[in-house]
Structure 1
Amino acid sequence: MRTDTTDTTQDLYESRTFVFILVITIFRLIYGSHLNALPDEAYYWAWADKLDLSYYCHPPMLMYFIAAVGRFVHNKIIVLRLVTAILTAGSSVYMFHFANLLFQDTRRAFYTVVLSNLTLLFMAGSLIATPDVPMIFFLSGAMYHFYRATQDGDAKQWLLAGTMTGLALVSKLVSFLVYLSFFLYLLLPENRKWFKKAIPYAVFVLSLAIFSPVIYWNSQHGWINFGFQLQHGFNTKPNPKFPRWDKFIEFLGSQVGLIGPILFVIFFVALFAVLFHWKRASLQEKFLACFAGVPFLFFLALSFQKKMEANWPCFAYVPGILLAVAFYERAMQPKRLGRALWNAHLGYSIVVLVVLLTHIYFPFLPIRKDRTDEYFGWEQLDAGVKAVMTQYPGYEIAANRYQLASEIMFYANVPVTCFNIDSRQNQFDIWQDRATFQGKNYLYFDTGKEPKPGIIEAFERLEFVSQFPLKRGDKVVEDIRVYRAENYRRQE
């Protein structure tokens, strides 16, 4: 029976969590509203303009959110930032309730939410519209409801777990790894009884049913979505340089950057402490190890053969941070050094975020290739593109890379042909019939000093006509060169 003091403390930290999530969500919306759409964000916006059951690179969930919010909000940037901020807030709510369920302590749940939101993973993820954002939200829900279902057997929780899993699959294909996490947890002696019941199998079928439109779309498009992800994530040929220690170290470095060096080490030690002392670990720790360990160790192993992108195992850190918090309070908090390390991580996280967020708007760091430049200059395409169109009426607009084509579509609101010559296949190849390019004249937009040889050869005549800069303050981020390209004649 809870005392009045306990109730008051619980209510206090619930209120603090609500206020924290509300304040940081409002901050993200205000901060992100002045940033340009990144090339991939503009690309996803183009997808959302042509809703489908799936797309070349990813399933469609992010685009559904963008399209839904776009029906009520007409500022494109605000739409992108609303989608990411709200979904990230939803993930934080699930993290709070799950931490409270595991630890029976709203204070610890509150600090878990704060800790996660101070990582670069959550902050950057809340400012960039990618398929990871809905995936993390739905997998957080799937994990929470699955744990509750296995604890009390509530059919509603089982159905919610299956629904959230299916929606996660419709967000990003890497979500399939959660099935292995489910299976490993059900293999524990305490949970094997569920293999004798019908509901886990029904829930599995439910999740696949929700995902089935993506399967159907792929069946109609040569399985390109699945094929792209397999080729993107795996080497299809034996690698003579295996093991690639350089890629392995690079991957570890990227993960350190996502959540901070001290927290990453705590997570790493906590995960392997559970794995090496499996019999002594609590059921809660085993659950978190199943859900954090599967995606993290999967991509860690793959990093020996090729480059892994930093965000691919991102969901591992939702249960992973919970596991780190549990390890800290059990093994580190009683020791002065442990508390000092924890406080050092919090200080490090705050300093890194303040420096980075300040640098984005007021650049002061001496970075040679500053990736934050990508947040600026693109809005200047509107005036630049329309000025050239006025000079050369009747010409269609074209680019060769999906990034530039998408940014022109986003900011200039004009249709764009993406030739994609000598480049990796993308969604534009599905939308466009190359046979219709023949004989047409274009205003061709490009970056760099000269077009690719394939572009030059594709036209009877290619003439440079104009150039304009994209600027971040006084700094030229990109030079856009425009060519009059006449009589497309490339034979595909």
Structure 2
Amino acid sequence: MTRAETKHIHARAGTWAPWAESSAVVLALVLLATIARLVYLAWFNPYPLIEDEAHYWEWSRRLEWSYYSKGPGIAWAIAASVKLLGTSEFGVRAPAAIAGAIAALAMAGLARDAMGDKRAGFFAAVCLMLSPVFQALSLLSTIDMPYVACWMLAVWAAWRCLHRAGTWSWVGLGAAIGAGVLFKYTALLLVPGLLVYAVARRGRLRLHRRAGTLVLGAIAIGLLGIAPVVIWNAENGWPTVHHLLGHLGVKGGDMPEARETYSPLWTLTFLVSQLGLAGAVGVLAVIGGVKALRDHDVSSDGPRESAVFLLLAAAPIFLFYLFVSFVSEGEANWAIAGHATLIPLAAFGLVRGMDRFTVLMARWRGLAEPRPRWGFLLRRPETATQVAWHIAIGIGLVAGIGMLRPDWASSLPGLGRYVPVARLTSATSNAGQVSELLASLREQTHSEPMVISQHYGRASQMAFYLPGRPTVFCSSSLMAGRRCQYDLWADTDLRRATGLIGRPAVLLGATREQWAPWFERVEEIGELRGEHKRGRPAFLGYGFKGIGAGAGGS
């Protein structure tokens, strides 16, 4: 077929999804998705707060400038939400859905500006919403989705600063990084990537004539986000530093046990987990990155330049956590912002690849019957982009529907062992039995009982789900475990809290031997109803004696 014939078919086939160029379509998509999530969280959500969510809610009850392991952003967001919506699961989780909307809009804006195709904006938002990890983070009130939202706002602002001669974009850049630090300190890892890009590509930048002043302004605004964390840590003995060093397993950290010897499985697990998080959208990002780097448009803000910018912006966070995997066992979601940064490349690869697929389909349909086999599995044409896109849609829909009702998903043949329903739903059943035990202790002893948990997450869940939402205590640091925020509040620190001597308690976790020195008598009652972790019993303690020297284990 000649080039003229191919151009004719391309014109007749048309551009794939031309309707996606409209900004109104992007806004409608994000608005509908956000409303759907909020409605689900308000009326149809079947599972209680997970441990981290409950702990951040505990923070929100005691607003401070920062906290033991994180900045104050998540606590402030939850506090504002429950003030508006009431103290409920919906009130705690609503910020996650709002952050998901902000991240999607920032993603769309970045892709629309940077990739040279307005359709990329819409499909960047779609790719974000189809990624199972981002679906989950838009429903659970952890630090991750607000952090990703701030990160994407910062990346978008940075692009406009460097390639649109923006003025207010510098304000947005500083504000987004500063706000991101309030949620997660690794928001600062965006800075080295931007610096490397700005220096390496300085001849291709389009800066405002007063760029120097604007840079200083952005730095000043960003420091406003760091200031509360620094001031609070300085006043409290730098607990966050000790916590982060503990994550790395190095001297000065808050991990009391000896450091584990490096295992190659740590690094291998990190690499495999990143491939799993990327999924089919990650395949599209690879396709898009290759297409962009090979693009014939070599202008200072064309797809090739955009690809370099996005890759350098994402690189530091991946490299940092790759390094961490050599000194400590990490979590898969730690590098989540890097994945988000590359989604505009996925959108670019998608629209370019589907344009080609549209042309191939038009050519194939123009052939006489019986048409030849042009695909690998199907008779019609197939391309890597089209296959990855359809897989992404399938995975996104299945995962999205499944996580809305994990209890239903677990009932399907073969899935029960892989869906942690008990872990997601045990908090309310545990709290129900603890409430009964508290009532029994109250009747037996004529004294007000308390709850002490070995783990901060379980303590926080009990604080949320027990009637009256009482003060609950955590014994982790007193039992050879890590310190946590409960150790810093006077009313939850078992060594400083007043009015506890002589009171009975429901004790969660640990062993009878660890609890015995603190009470006149300890009785084991076995695992609580719905307990998802085997070998984690509960106890009744009578007559709290206080935390003596050496009590509770070494």
Q: Same fold (TM over 0.5)?
A: yes
**Aligned runs of 1:203-214 on 2, under 5 Å?**
203-214=218-229
Do residues 27 (structure 1) and 39 (structure 2) align? no
1:419 is aligned to 475
Match of 1:445 in 2: 507
Show the 5 A alignment for 1:355-366.
355-364=402-411, 365-366=414-415
What is the deviation of 1:459?
2.8
Q: Partner residue of 1:374?
A: 423
Can you list the C-alpha shifts for 1:400-445, whole angstroms capped at 9, x where unaligned? 2212211110011111122222211111111144434684433133
**Mapped contact 1:112–1:325 kept (Cα < 8 A):** yes
Q: Which of 285, 308, 311 is matched with 1:267 structurally?
A: 285
Against the structure 1 CA distance between its residues 218 and 272, is the aligned structure 2 distance closer, same or farther, given a 3 Å change threshold?
farther
| TM, length-normalised to structure 2 | 0.77
Please give the alpha-carbon distance, in whole angstroms, between the structure 2 residues aligned to 1:435 and 1:74: 32
Q: Tell me, in whole angstroms, the C-alpha distance in 2 between the residues paired with 1:20 and 1:11.
A: 10
Asked if structure 2 preserves the Cα contact closer than 8 Å seen for 1:138 and 1:167, the reply is yes
CA distance, structure 1, for counterparts of residue 547 and residue 536 of structure 2: 27
- Match in the other structure for 1:351: 398
Query: Aligned partner of 2:542: which letter?
Result: A
- What are the superposed Cα offsets for residues 145-201 of structure 1, whole Å, 9 maximum, x if unpaired? 221122233322111211111111111111110111221221122249789723213
Aligned position for 1:396: 450
**Residue of 523, 546, 550 corresponding to 1:488:** 546
Change (3 A) 1:414 1:361: farther
User: Deviations 1:227-278 (Å, cap 9, x if unpaired)?
Assistant: 3123314655999966x43222211222233231x3334435766898999x
Counterpart position of 2:86: 74
Distance apart, 1:18 and its partner CA: 2.5
Q: Tell me the CA shift for residue 301 of structure 1.
A: 3.6
CA 1:163–1:481 in 2, change beyond 3 Å: closer, same or farther? same
Would the aligned equivalents of 1:234 and 1:302 in 2 still touch at CA under 8 Å? no
The answer on 1:428 being equivalent to 2:437 is no
Q: Matched residue pairs, number?
A: 479
Over 3 Å counting, the alpha-carbon distance change for 1:24 and 1:233 in structure 2 is farther
Describe the SS at the equivalent of 1:313.
helix
Structure 1: which amino acid aligns with 2:487?
Answer: D
Gaps of 5+ in 2: 1-13, 253-257, 358-381
Q: What is the alpha-carbon distance in structure 2 between the residues aligned to residue 468 and residue 302 of structure 1?
A: 37
Which range moved further: 338-347 or 31-40? Answer: 338-347
Do structure 1's residue 385 and structure 2's residue 449 form an aligned pair?
Answer: no
Displacement, 1:101? 1.1
Task: Give the CA deviation at 1:30.
Answer: 3.6
- Which whole-Å CA distance do the structure 2 matches of 1:321 and 1:291 have between them? 12
**Residue 455 of structure 2 aligns to which amino acid in structure 1?**
R
Distance 1:9 1:263 in 2: 21
Q: Does the C-alpha gap of structure 1 residues 419 and 175 become closer, same or farther in structure 2, counting only changes over 3 Å?
A: same
CA contact (8 A) 1:38 1:375 kept: yes
- Name the residue aligned to 1:202: 217
- State which structure, 1 or 2, has the greater radius of gyration over its C-alpha atoms: 2
Distance in 1, matches of 2:26 and 2:535, equals 42
Deviations 1:356-403 (A, max 9, x none): 444344422444464342221322345433322322222333222212
Question: Alpha carbons of 1:276 and 1:310: their partners in 2 closer, same or farther (altered >3 Å)?
Answer: farther
Equivalent residues in 2 for 1:96-115, closer than 5 Å: 96-115=108-127
Note the alpha carbon deviations across 1:288-317, whole angstroms, 9 max, x for none: 112222212322343244322111111112
**Which deviates more from structure 2 when the two are superposed, residues 429-438 or residues 94-103?**
429-438
Q: Distance in 2 between matches of 1:148 and 1:285?
A: 15
Deviation at 1:319, TM superposition (A): 1.7
Q: Return the letter of the residue paired with 1:428.
A: Y
> Deviation string for 1:439-466 (max 9, x for gaps)?
443313314xx72532223333212468
Deviations 1:186-218 (A, max 9, x none): 112224978972321331122013320110001
C-alpha distance in structure 1 between counterparts of 2:251 and 2:351, whole Å: 44
Deviates more, 1:251-260 or 1:38-47: 251-260
1:221 equivalent in structure 2:
236
**Cα gap change, 1:47/1:75 in structure 2, threshold over 3 Å: closer, same or farther?**
closer
What is the CA-CA distance between 1:56 and the residue it aligns to?
0.6
**Structure 1 position 133, deviation (Å):** 1.6
> Which letter does structure 2 place at the counterpart of 1:389?
L
Checking the alignment, whether the CA contact within 8 Å between 1:469 and 1:478 is kept in structure 2 is no
Letter in 2 for 1:426: C
> Gaps (5+ residues) in structure 1?
none
In the TM superposition, what are the counterparts of 1:24-63 in structure 2 within 5 Å? 24-32=33-41, 33-63=45-75
Segment drifting more, 179-188 vs 14-23: 14-23
1:222, distance to aligned residue in structure 2 (A): 1.4
Hey, what's the Cα distance between the residues in 2 that align with 1:162 and 1:484? 52
CA distance in 1, matches of 2:322, 2:432: 46
Q: CA deviation at 1:328?
A: 4.7
CA distance 1:332–1:50, change in 2 (3 Å): same
- 1:112-143 deviation per Cα after TM superposition (whole angstroms, max 9, x unaligned): 21111111121110121111121111111111
Match of 1:149 in 2: 161
Cα distance in 1 between the residues matched to 2:28 and 2:535: 41
Residue 82 of structure 1: how far off its partner (Å):
1.0
Shift of 1:482: 3.7
The answer to whether the 8 A contact 1:439-1:488 is kept is yes
- Quote how far apart the aligned CAs of 1:34 are: 2.9
Query: Residue 170 of structure 1: SS of its match in structure 2?
Result: helix
Give the CA deviation at 1:329: 4.8
> Structure 1-normalised TM-score?
0.86
